[in-house]
């Protein structure tokens, strides 16, 4: 059976040097140290790091394409681009749109052919707070009502995550229905305070969308200071927290604070990459009805009034967690693989280098250059410049 040897295996809590891993039928069959039993079918990794494929739960696009384009070409372009950053499974993420457009997104997601695995989609809106719109189109924001709840529940098998502001009228019933249907309900783009978040968690909230960004923080109400969504998330052990560790959305100090508060078991690295990711500075791209542009290392609305997603891939986030936060490499990788798999409920088959899990791997060097990305034991990216193609 095929195998990879002479690799540094990145496990959730350590690095195994001179390790090997074998696989067949798209599944990991064995791991060990030294040489595998059948060296005639073994690929020499030459000391590269071998990690489980990265899992991105919040990604809108790349190379000029957006998942809301809802075309097979867009899905293929985005997945191919992010595979070059080590992503083997991603959740097509739709920014605020109409439910009619989400319906089209789900239809394409159900049949698109991509380089990596497509996870159930992430709907980021339209039930968000106008004051925390960021680069989202607040003209499309609505309160969740029975019609939207019924729509959500009837399509729960296709939807992995929904971001919602829990303080909105009707939000708690929406959260409860989604959670009961098995959807990962996430608080974001929100003015929620302590009381709102407590009610949201009781109703089924389990995650927070892009920690620090587009969310309330502590403020004085009357004579007393109360926690906002940010502080509630940091202080609540069981809540998963997405974070865009691109070095722009969140400063190194804030990254360190989040890492110390949540740890690798509850912190999830996400790119929040938009269509401009991979394009040269000055390029224009769309986020819904808004025109955005590629700045120096980040995306912004054309009028520069708000950040517009990131320009990162998952390998960039893993690097930043080790260089900006000094997190151990195996913990940075865990935040990009096993932790998102656990949050989404698919860690039985994804997220770590364990026998019986899918043979999704990323091989990279000590300069965080991806050398090879594999899905089900098959190479989907190898030794090319990390450019749009």
Q: Catalytic positions, please? A: 272
**Vertex 299 angle, CA 295 and 301, to 5°:** 100
Residue 152 Cα distances to 149, 200, 202, 290, angstroms: 5, 17, 19, 26
Q: Could you tell me the strand order of the sheet in which 284-287 lies? A: 284-287, 290-294, 299-301
Cβ atoms < 10 Å from Cβ of 96: 27
Contact 360, 374 (CB under 8 A): yes
Q: What is the C-alpha to C-alpha distance for residues 313 and 389, in angstroms, rounded to an integer?
A: 15
Q: What is the C-alpha to C-alpha distance for residues 202 and 172, in angstroms, rounded to an integer?
A: 9
Contact 250, 282 (CB under 8 A): no
Q: What is the C-alpha to C-alpha distance for residues 329 and 323, in angstroms, rounded to an integer?
A: 10
Q: What is the C-alpha to C-alpha distance for residues 117 and 110, in angstroms, rounded to an integer?
A: 12
């Amino acid at each position: 059976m095929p195998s990879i040897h002479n690799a540094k295996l990145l496990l959730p809590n350590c690095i195994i040097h001179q390790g090997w891993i074998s696989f067949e039928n798209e599944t990991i069959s064995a791991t060990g140290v030294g040489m595998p039993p059948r060296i005639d079918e073994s690929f020499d990794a030459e000391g590269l790091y071998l990690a489980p494929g990265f899992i991105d739960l919040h990604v809108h696009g790349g190379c000029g394409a957006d998942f809301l384009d809802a075309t097979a070409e867009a899905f293929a372009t985005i997945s191919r681009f992010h595979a070059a950053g080590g992503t083997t499974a991603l959740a097509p993420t739709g920014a605020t749109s109409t439910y009619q457009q989400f319906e089209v997104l789900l239809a394409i997601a159900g049949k698109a052919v991509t380089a990596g695995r497509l996870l159930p989609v992430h709907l980021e809106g339209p039930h968000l707070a106008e004051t925390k719109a960021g680069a989202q189109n607040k003209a499309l924001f609505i309160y969740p009502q029975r019609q939207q709840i019924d729509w959500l529940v009837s399509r729960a098998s296709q939807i992995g995550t929904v971001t919602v502001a829990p303080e909105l009228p009707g939000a708690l019933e929406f959260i409860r229905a989604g959670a009961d249907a098995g959807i990962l309900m996430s608080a974001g783009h929100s003015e929620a305070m302590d009381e709102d978040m407590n009610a949201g968690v009781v109703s089924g909230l389990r995650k927070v969308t892009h920690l620090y960004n587009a969310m309330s923080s502590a403020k004085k109400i009357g004579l007393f200071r109360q926690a906002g969504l940010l502080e509630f998330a940091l202080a609540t052990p069981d809540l998963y927290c997405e974070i865009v560790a691109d070095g722009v959305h969140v400063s190194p100090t804030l990254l360190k604070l989040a890492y110390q508060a949540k740890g690798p078991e509850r912190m999830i690295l996400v790119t929040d990459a938009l269509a401009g990711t991979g394009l040269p500075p000055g390029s224009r791209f769309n986020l819904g009805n808004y025109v955005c542009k590629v700045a120096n290392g980040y995306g912004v609305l054309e009028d520069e009034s708000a950040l517009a997603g990131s320009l990162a891939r998952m390998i960039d986030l893993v690097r930043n967690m080790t260089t900006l936060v000094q997190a151990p490499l195996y913990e940075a990788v865990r935040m990009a693989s096993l932790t998102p798999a656990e949050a989404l409920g698919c860690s039985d088959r994804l997220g770590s280098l364990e026998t019986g899990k899918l043979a999704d791997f990323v091989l990279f060097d000590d300069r965080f250059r991806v050398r090879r990305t594999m899905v089900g034991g098959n190479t989907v990216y190898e030794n090319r410049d990390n450019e749009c193609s």
